[in-house]
Amino acid sequence: MSIRHSATGERAQLDLFRAMPGQFAARDAQDLMAYPFFSLGKSKRIAPIDFTAGSVAIRVEAVPEHGMATIWDADVLIWAASQIVEARDHGIRTSRLMAATPYEILAFVGRGVSARDYERLKAALDRLQSTTVATTIRQPTERRRHRFSWVNEWKERVDARGRPLGLELILPDWFYSAVMDDALVLTIDRAYFDLTGGLERWLYRLVRKHGGRQPGGWSFDLKHLHAKSGSLSPLKHFAYDLRDIVRRQALPGYALTIDRGPIGQERLAFAIVPVDPLERAMRRALGLDPRTEDKL
């Protein structure tokens, strides 16, 4: 349900969308899955990400106080995308101004709900707000860039007696527009939230974006993957970590192999793992598995 929010500035122009309770399908924005927007490590990153491929240009910058938003912080955006799509599909009006309790966000993304987890969530929101992105993606000309932060602003809400009521945050228009476009959103397996490594989390999202329902799977040259990740790790170390992910078959729903190309270069290949029809029907009913539907 949307209600008018009385405040000043941008907040005054937006209706307040109260997050829906419960668990439902997790959704991700395809642009965020395909390109390097987040730090893959938990240590503070200040060095910017610069990525260019054809007409796509991305620069991500951080401030020393908070560091760059990490791929774990991006879980907040997955939660937001999931909320918006679920509400939209049920005819509920959504908004870039969202309200929720920390518990609702943390429970949806499979985190703990202790006081320490709440503090970590607030630190993630600080990084999402202070990280800035400039990109040509979805801009009419290559020279034009859209600049934004992942969260325009956020605040803790309290009642008249100072008791906590939850959080409010404002999403950037660039992200909200992508989520509202059904063609730019994919479901992801909820097992994604169980992945502990930043590289495997990034790789799952990339594989999910490109693998989809491709009958023969997909493959990437390791050098291209390295550039696409935005990782600060040298290519040699990056390749070693990828081989370990392949060895462990760590990505839910996909089989990974490393092959040699025609001129000897290593390529990471991935293909969807066939699912038992009964299991597929159960997962479709529960909205748990992206292999059942490419777009929801």
Residues 54 and 144 in one domain: yes
List the end-to-end C-alpha distance of the chain, in Å, as a whole number: 21
Residues 235 and 263 in one domain: yes
Residue 211, domain CATH: 1.10.10
Residue 275 lies in a domain: yes
Residue 296 lies in a domain: no
Q: What is the structure's pLDDT at 23?
A: 85
DSSP type of residue 96: S
From 187, 212, 243, the end of a domain falls on 187
Residues 17 and 148 in one domain: yes
Q: What is the structure's pLDDT at 48?
A: 98
Mean pLDDT by 10 residues, the chain (296 residues): 48 87 92 96 96 94 98 98 95 95 95 94 98 91 84 88 85 95 91 96 94 72 93 95 95 90 82 69 55 37
Tally the domains of the chain. Answer: 2
Q: What is the structure's pLDDT at 216?
A: 67
Residue 127 lies in a domain: yes
Residues 163 and 199 in one domain: no
Cβ-Cβ contacts under 8 Å for 263 (sequence gap 6 or more): none
Residues 67 and 197 in one domain: no
Q: What is the structure's pLDDT at 263?
A: 74
Q: What is the structure's pLDDT at 212?
A: 65
Q: What is the structure's pLDDT at 219?
A: 86
Residues 179 and 204 in one domain: no
Beta strands, E only, the chain: 2-4, 15-18, 26-29, 49-53, 56-61, 97-100, 132-135, 146-149, 153-158, 164-170, 185-188, 218-221, 254-260, 266-272
Q: What is the structure's pLDDT at 278?
A: 64
Q: Which residue has the tokens 């991700």?
A: 28
Name the burial class of residue 15, with classes exposed (0-12), middle (13-18) and buried (19+) by CB atoms within 10 angstroms of its CB: middle
Instruction: Please compute, for residue 71, the number of CA atoms within 13 A of its CA located in the half-sphere on the CB side.
Output: 26
User: Which residues face 218 on adjacent strands?
Assistant: 270
Q: What is the structure's pLDDT at 52?
A: 94
Q: What is the structure's pLDDT at 159?
A: 77
Residues 15 and 133 in one domain: yes
From 132, 155, 187, the end of a domain falls on 187
Question: How far is 31 from 48, CA to CA, in rounded Å?
Answer: 18
Both tokens assigned to 11: 């907040």
Residue 141 lies in a domain: yes
Residues 268 and 139 in one domain: no
Residues 143 and 219 in one domain: no
Domain containing residue 18: 2-187
Residue type at 1? M
84-118 core/surface letters (b: 16 or more CB in 10 A; e: else): bbbbeeeeeebbbbbbbbbebbbbbbebeeeeeeb
Question: How far is 189 from 251, CA to CA, in rounded Å?
Answer: 10
Residues 13 and 156 in one domain: yes
Tell me the three state secondary structure of residue 82: helix
